[in-house]
């Protein structure tokens, strides 16, 4: 028997055997209880059953061999240490059975207190507590309640009803007014409930109670709410939970006892001080359950000064030891303090920055570590305006929180009206069924966008996120009637000019104005708030950490910007250039007519006339951007989308033409347009006539753009500025495509630039898998690569983004085929491998090749770390994401192995 036990796998650890770094094996709670035990803090003795035991149990449906014997041995040693035995009718040892996984899953799994009480030991417990029968019966009824609910799935309300009934009979609302007899009666009532639901009597055998409770904790790992929570928080499903068996200490022994929770700093603001709640004469769960009003922790100083001082000293010690905000649970049993839990506490985004800054001041951590303690998602959260929560508003509809932030303004239904009102200084909310590329100006002018259709990846959502503009999409309770300029919701009609408020974080829509607070952090980034003068701890902390990130990072950060205004904003946010200037919006709006002329041209002369008319307009666009980005590189992408995107939609046009013909109107022009639209219709536009293919098919199109870029650069340079254009050819798959475009472009550039000193680079996007795989060849003709990871993801996976995100991504996420959409965060193994290959082979062919990435991944924290590791020179993202990318690039640069930021 003894020999058998020595070869058993070790499944049980005494608290004295563990430490805080064993979270995988002992769970967070167990590892930290062990850590506190070894620090010599007053922790009740106990032991931890490992996550491995849980995994084995869940895999086979029974306890692994050796577990029962090891529990027995540890229980015996616990009994010896406490001088009490489990189930002893005269002086029983009671224990708690507590779940505790590697990652804290608040309220997801259960705990049973007072295990070991039965009809006989309850009498012994009362006697040992100096004849305190009330306490003993209160403990017993709690055991039946928690055990019934957690272990045997008895509906918790039934116990609560019985408790309410007992209070009602007593004519009280406080459980403190129930005396020993009331509680004894309640135990009887609870036992009946237990019997009714389980078909058996409440187990009187303490060891059976213990084993069933342990098993229930194992099984709680797979409870539905735990599964849902893990999925949401991306916690792996196979970790399992540990189980902690802890000798009970009692906060319900009378007014000199109690229980509480505390934080070593304010988890909301990060401010230093004492934050916590205390409840006298109560057991654990009562504090959070809110059955009685707790008092602020400071009051404990008056109630029990000695315990209070000891607690403060322990909290200071824990902070120094963990070098971070700690969150603790404690109990006082007749004036003796016991520590029941600690962990590094969760905190708000603002507190994360403030605390990291304070810990640097206190010398507990250095700036590298501070950079680790915060992340880009938190920074992004701090950059959105918020509704002031002290107001009580009822939402009228709820859609998808598509782009976070809070916005109030007058309702408008068209882009034109949005632009008009915004020019008059009005805040407007653009409301539409869905948006399309023509709405861009309206979206720029609006404070927020509300649509009744489409999800997180609809046009409205994607564009709004890119602009950092608040957007609620798919609020389908709203019935939008654009021609009539009104929408109806919840039986009310809202017309143009009425005020609505939208919350892009929660997706909630309110009628009327909800007050909004602008983000201080954005004011700081925009340069309107001086961090040295701000008395705001948050702004100072952000400034300090950002400064360190900028000093540490190796990746440069550029922005995607298509207009002078965007470029200016990007620059204020710290962009070191423009990584993607799209030229297609320069073909929209009032230039549509010229573009139609270009597309419909039947002769070379008609075509070159149209191009000649577009040239000065394009040049002015670039002049504006080069001026704003004086001295910094600007990557201009030649026109990318298929031309029919610039024409009216086929169905609409067909109907218009038919109607006009019916009326006998002259429709020659419309008919020609319709014919062109039909001719250009593509089954698969994503893979059709676009990008470099357009440039090779439509004579003069790319040449016009190249000329406009070069002329703009020369003009800005002659003005005394410095323009650094980089011309980027989209959708290249073969070096010959690039060579052809390049030969023509170089001729034009040489001619325009002359001796002005302007230097124009020519490079390509790498967004077609073939380009990545032949990067060595392509680099011979390219001075830079910019990875277009959106298209690379589409073509790498064979996904058409607009089709797949709504159609089946939910299922892929559910099945775990991917943990996050590959459009949100780069797929390192597949698409990322293409990037790596292209970077390596491109650099091998041309060592000075500049490498960057443009597209939404450039502002995604996870992806930024990947691009750092592949050795790119820069990432480019929307202006609003620039600070996030700067921060994450800094974090990537100081990353140490094995850090655990969760």
Site string for Mg ion, 498-537 (x = CB under 5 A): ----------------------------------------
Find the helix or strand (DSSP H, E) in which 262 lies.
Answer: strand 258-265
With CB under 6 A as the contact rule, the residue among 44, 474, 577, 788 that binds ligand ADP is 44
* Shortest distance in whole angstroms from residue 317 CB to Mg ion: 20
Radius of gyration of the chain (CA): 34
Minimum CB–partner distance for residue 55 and ligand ADP (Å): 20
Beta strands in 709-804 (DSSP E): 724-729, 761-766, 784-788
Interface with Mg ion, residue 856, by CB under 5 A: no
| Distance set, CA 406 to CA 386, 387, 472 (Å) | 5, 6, 10
Report yes or no: 397 and 493 within 8 Å, Cβ to Cβ: no
Residue 717 contacts which entry, Mg ion, ligand ADP, none (Cβ below 5-8 A, type-dependent): none
Smallest separation, CB 30 to ligand ADP (Å): 10
State the minimum distance, in angstroms, from the CB of residue 247 to ligand ADP.
6
Q: Does 329 bind ligand ADP (CB under 6 A)?
A: yes
Helices (H) and strands (E) in the chain, counts: 37, 33
* Residue 110 within binding range of Mg ion, rule CB under 5 A: no
- Report whether 794 contacts 801 (CB < 8 A): yes
CB of 137 to ligand ADP, least distance (A): 17
Q: CA of 713: how far to CAs of 558, 653, 719, 726, in Å? A: 19, 39, 10, 11
Q: Cβ distance 545 to 353 under 8 Å? A: yes
SS3 223: coil
Closer by beta carbon to ligand ADP, 327 or else 628: 327
Residue 121 binding: pick among Mg ion, ligand ADP, none (C-beta 5-8 Å cut-off by kind): none
CB of 261 to ligand ADP, least distance (A): 7
C-beta closer to ligand ADP: residue 260 or 507: 260
Contact window for ligand ADP (CB under 6 A) among 8-16, 66-74, 243-251, 291-299: 243-251
What is the DSSP code string of 294-343?
Answer: -EEGGGHHHH-HHHHHHHHHHHHHHHHHHTS-EEEEEEEETTEEEEEEEE
Per-residue binding string, ligand ADP, 112-141, x by CB under 6 A, is -x----------------------------
Please say whether the beta carbons of 144 and 251 come within 8 A.
Answer: no
Verify whether residue 865 is a known catalytic residue. no
Stretch near Mg ion under the rule CB under 5 A, chosen from 54-62, 360-368, 507-515, 780-788: 780-788
Strand ranges for 351-403 from DSSP E: 386-387, 397-398, 400-403
**401 makes contact with Mg ion (CB under 5 A):** no
Binding mask 338-367 for Mg ion (x = CB under 5 A): ---x--------------------------
277 binds Mg ion (CB under 5 A): no
**CB of 263 within 8 A of CB of 290?**
no
Among ligand ADP, Mg ion, none, the one that 249 touches (CB under a kind-dependent 5 to 8 A) is: ligand ADP
534 burial via Cβ count (<10 Å: 0-12, 13-18, 19+): middle
Which 3 state secondary structure label does DSSP give 135?
helix
Binding mask 313-332 for Mg ion (x = CB under 5 A): ----------------x---
d(CA 86, CA 102): 29
Residue 457 touches ligand ADP, criterion: CB under 6 A: no
Nearer to ligand ADP, 24 or 285 (CB): 285
- Judged by beta carbon distances under 5 to 8 A according to partner kind, the member of ligand ADP, Mg ion, none in contact with residue 285 is ligand ADP
In angstroms, what is the minimal distance from the CB of 572 to ligand ADP?
45
With CB under 6 A as the contact rule, the residue among 25, 54, 129, 249 that binds ligand ADP is 249
Determine the Cα–Cα distance for residues 856 and 466; give it in Å rounded to an integer: 8
Choose among Mg ion, ligand ADP, none what residue 609 binds, the Cβ cut-off being 5 to 8 Å by kind. none
Dihedral (Cα; 84, 86, 90, 96), 10-degree rounding: 90
Task: Pick the closer one to ligand ADP by CB: 113 or 430.
Answer: 113
Q: Is 340 in the site for ligand ADP (CB under 6 A)?
A: yes
Of the candidate spans 195-203, 246-254, 529-537, 859-867, the one that interacts with ligand ADP by CB under 6 A turns out to be: 246-254
Would you count residue 285 as binding ligand ADP (CB under 6 A)? yes
Which distant-in-sequence residues (6+ apart) come within 8 Å of 407 by Cβ? 385, 427, 429, 447, 448, 469, 470, 501, 502, 504, 516
| 331 near ligand ADP, rule: CB under 6 A | yes
Distance in angstroms (rounded) separating the CA atoms of residues 639 and 641: 6
Stretch of 115-123, 245-253, 541-549, 853-861 lying at the interface with ligand ADP (CB under 6 A): 245-253
Q: Catalytic: 459?
A: yes
**Stretch touching Mg ion by CB under 5 A, among 335-343, 345-353, 627-635, 795-803:** 335-343
SS3 category, 487: strand
The residue count for binding ligand ADP (CB under 6 A) is 15
The candidate with the shortest Cα–Cα distance to 54, out of 210, 235, 216, is: 216
248 scored as a contact of ligand ADP (CB under 6 A)? yes
State which of residues 791, 827, 856, 888 lies at the interface with Mg ion (CB under 5 A): 791
Nearer to Mg ion, 281 or 793 (CB): 793
Q: How far is the CB of 192 from Mg ion (least distance, A)?
A: 30
Q: Which is nearer to Mg ion, 108 or 411 (CB)?
A: 108
Of the candidates 54, 74, 326, 459, the residue annotated as catalytic is 459
Separation CA 790–CA 796 (nearest Å)? 10
Among the listed residues 216, 246, 279, 460, the single contact to ligand ADP using CB under 6 A: 246
Binding mask 374-393 for ligand ADP (x = CB under 6 A): --------------------
Least separation in angstroms between residue 252's CB and ligand ADP is: 9
Using CB under 5 A as the binding rule, whether residue 252 contacts Mg ion is answered as no
- Angle (nearest 5°) at CA 848 between 842 and 851: 55
- Is 315 a binding residue for ligand ADP by CB under 6 A? The answer is no
Q: How far is the C-alpha of 239 from the C-alpha of 48, rounded, in Å?
A: 16
∠ at Cα 342 (17, 228), nearest 5°? 100
Q: Which residue is nearest to ligand ADP (CB)?
A: 284
791's contact among ligand ADP, Mg ion, none, with CB below 5 to 8 A by partner kind, is Mg ion
CB of 24 to ligand ADP, least distance (A): 18
Residue 378 in tokens: 């938190």
Parallel/antiparallel/unpaired status of strands 874-877 and 556-560: parallel
Q: Which residue among 581, 854, 857, 865 is the active-site one?
A: 854
Q: Verify binding: residue 284, ligand ADP, rule CB under 6 A.
A: yes
Which of 276, 788, 852, 861 touches Mg ion (CB under 5 A)?
788
Query: How many binding residues for Mg ion (CB under 5 A)?
Result: 5
Distance CA 880, CA 575 (A): 10
Opening angle at CA 624, ends 621 and 627, nearest 5: 145
- What secondary structure, in 3-state letters, does 396-416 show? CEECEEEECCEEEEEEECCHH
* Contacts to ligand ADP from residues 82-111, by CB under 6 A: 96, 98, 111
Q: What is the pairing mode between strands 556-560 and 295-296?
A: unpaired
Distances (CA, A) of 286 to 181, 249, 293, 714: 21, 15, 10, 74
Q: Which residues are catalytic?
A: 459, 854
Residues at the contact surface with ligand ADP, assessed by CB under 6 A: 44, 96, 98, 111, 113, 246-249, 284-285, 329, 331, 340-341
Which residues are near Mg ion by CB under 5 A?
A: 329, 341, 767, 788, 791
């Amino acid at each position: 028997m003894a020999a058998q036990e020595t070869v058993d796998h070790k499944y049980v650890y005494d608290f004295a055997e563990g430490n805080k770094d064993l979270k995988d094996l002992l769970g967070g709670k167990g590892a930290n209880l062990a850590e506190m035990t070894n620090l010599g803090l007053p922790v009740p003795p106990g032991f931890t059953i490992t996550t491995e035991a849980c995994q084995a149990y869940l895999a086979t449906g029974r306890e692994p061999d050796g577990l029962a014997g090891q529990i027995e041995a540890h229980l015996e040693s616990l009994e010896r240490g406490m001088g009490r035995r489990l189930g002893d009718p005269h002086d029983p040892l009671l224990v708690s059975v507590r779940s505790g996984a590697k990652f804290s899953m608040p309220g997801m799994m259960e705990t049973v207190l007072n295990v070991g009480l039965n009809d006989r030991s309850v009498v012994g417990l009362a006697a040992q507590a100096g004849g305190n029968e009330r306490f003993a019966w209160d403990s017993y009824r709690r055991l039946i309640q928690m055990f019934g609910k957690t272990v045997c799935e008895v509906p918790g309300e039934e116990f609560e009803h019985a408790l309410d009934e007992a209070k009602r009979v007593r004519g009280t609302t406080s459980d403190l007014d129930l005396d020993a007899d009331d509680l004894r009666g309640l135990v009887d009532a609870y036992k009946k409930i237990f019997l009714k639901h389980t078909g058996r009597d409440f187990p009187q055998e303490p060891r059976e109670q213990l084993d069933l409770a342990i098993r229930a904790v194992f099984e709680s790992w797979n409870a539905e709410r735990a599964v849902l929570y893990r999925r949401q928080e991306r916690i792996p499903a196979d970790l399992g939970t540990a189980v902690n068996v802890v000798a009970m200490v009692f906060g319900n022994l009378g007014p000199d006892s109690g229980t509480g929770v505390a934080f070593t700093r304010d988890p909301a603001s990060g401010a230093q001080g004492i934050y916590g709640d205390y409840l006298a004469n109560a057991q654990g769960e009562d504090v959070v359950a809110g059955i009685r009003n707790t008092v602020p922790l400071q009051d404990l100083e008056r109630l029990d000064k000695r315990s209070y001082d000891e607690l403060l000293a322990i909290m200071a010690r824990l902070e120094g030891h963990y070098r971070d905000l700690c969150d603790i649970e404690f109990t006082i049993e007749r004036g003796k303090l016991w520590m029941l839990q600690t962990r590094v506490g969760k905190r708000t985004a603002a507190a994360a920055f403030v605390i990291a800054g304070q810990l640097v001041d206190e010398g507990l951590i250095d700036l590298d570590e501070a950079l680790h303690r915060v992340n880009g998602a938190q920074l992004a959260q701090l950059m959105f305006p918020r509704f002031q929560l002290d107001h009580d508003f009822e939402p009228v509809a709820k859609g998808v929180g598509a782009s976070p932030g809070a916005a109030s303004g007058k309702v408008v239904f068209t882009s034109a009206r949005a632009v008009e009102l915004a020019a008059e200084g009005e805040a407007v909310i653009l409301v539409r069924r869905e948006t399309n590329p023509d709405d861009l100006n309206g979206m720029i002018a609006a404070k927020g966008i509300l649509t009744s259709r489409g999800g997180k990846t609809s046009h409205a959502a994607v564009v709004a996120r890119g602009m950092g503009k608040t957007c609620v999409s798919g609020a389908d309770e709203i019935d939008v009637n654009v021609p009539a300029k009104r929408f109806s919701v919840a039986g009310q009609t809202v017309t143009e000019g009425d005020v609505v408020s939208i919350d892009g974080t929660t997706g909630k829509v309110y009628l009327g104005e909800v007050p909004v607070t602008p983000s201080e952090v954005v004011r700081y980034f925009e340069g309107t708030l001086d961090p040295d003068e701000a008395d705001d701890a948050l702004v100072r902390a952000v400034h300090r950490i950002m400064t360190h990130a900028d000093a540490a990072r190796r990746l440069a950060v550029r922005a995607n910007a298509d207009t002078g205004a965007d470029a200016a904003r990007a620059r204020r946010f710290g962009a070191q250039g423009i990584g993607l200037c799209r030229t297609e919006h320069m073909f929209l709006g009032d230039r549509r007519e010229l573009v139609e002329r270009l597309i419909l041209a039947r002769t070379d002369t008609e075509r070159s006339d149209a191009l000649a008319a577009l040239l000065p307009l394009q040049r002015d666009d670039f002049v504006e951007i080069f001026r704003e980005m004086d001295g910094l590189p600007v990557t201009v992408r030649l026109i990318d989308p298929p031309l029919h995107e610039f024409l009216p939609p086929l169905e609409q046009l067909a109907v218009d033409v038919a109607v006009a013909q019916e009326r006998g109107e002259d429709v020659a022009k419309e008919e020609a347009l319709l014919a062109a639209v039909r001719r250009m219709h593509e089954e698969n536009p994503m893979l059709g006539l676009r990008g470099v293919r357009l440039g090779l098919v439509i004579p003069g199109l790319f040449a016009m753009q190249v000329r406009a870029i070069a002329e703009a650069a020369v003009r800005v340079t002659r003005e005394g500025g410095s323009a650094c254009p980089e011309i980027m050819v989209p959708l290249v798959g073969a070096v010959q495509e690039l060579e052809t475009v390049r030969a023509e472009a170089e001729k034009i550039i040489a001619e325009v630039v002359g001796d002005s000193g302007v230097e124009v680079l020519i490079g390509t996007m790498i967004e077609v898998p073939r380009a990545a795989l032949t990067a060595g060849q392509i680099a011979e003709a390219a001075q830079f690569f910019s990875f277009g990871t959106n298209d690379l993801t589409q073509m790498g996976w064979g996904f058409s983004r607009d089709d797949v995100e709504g159609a089946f991504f939910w299922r892929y996420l559910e099945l775990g085929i991917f943990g996050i959409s590959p459009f949100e965060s780069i797929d390192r193994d597949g698409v990322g491998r293409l990037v790596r290959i292209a970077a390596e082979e491109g650099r091998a062919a041309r060592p000075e090749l500049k490498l960057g990435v443009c597209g939404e991944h450039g502002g995604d924290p996870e992806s930024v770390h990947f691009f750092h590791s592949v050795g790119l020179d820069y990432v480019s993202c929307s202006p609003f994401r620039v600070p996030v990318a700067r921060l994450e690039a800094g974090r990537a640069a100081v990353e140490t192995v094995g850090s655990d930021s969760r």
